[in-house]
Structure 1
């Protein structure tokens, strides 16, 4: 069954965006890929799935469809964590995309 996807507005997910567990930095790679940053966030694994999905959907829909078609560069800052935490973060992002 096909469902129409309703675009999210920042106002609709203001509370989730204010948590700042992910943001579009404005930077771009050499090939023009927009950069999404996942800064150090101590309770990253505890973010509700719906909140996580809404923020990722919102952030990936900000760039033009042409830019988004190139792909995204993800910067995941987990320098204070163990490798297992980095792996869990990457897996969560991969599953959500």
Structure 2
């Protein structure tokens, strides 16, 4: 759905080397997993944290998966990404 009128603020520019931690659930009903994988592919400096078997959009701090929460907490604490992409499984 597109909102009427011009955007209220300028677009946010994200550089391709952004060191982002991308969370994506394989069964996310709002943001399909393939979109998370595609975003990760567009940001070579990123890491993908996959939660397999979860059919939910909100993951960090709400889903209750220690693997996800621990990985995000570590990233937020020091800004360092995991050495490689991570996969967690639904508990």
TM-score calculated relative to the size of structure 2: 0.28
Structure with bigger gyration radius = 2
Higher helix content, 1 or 2: 1
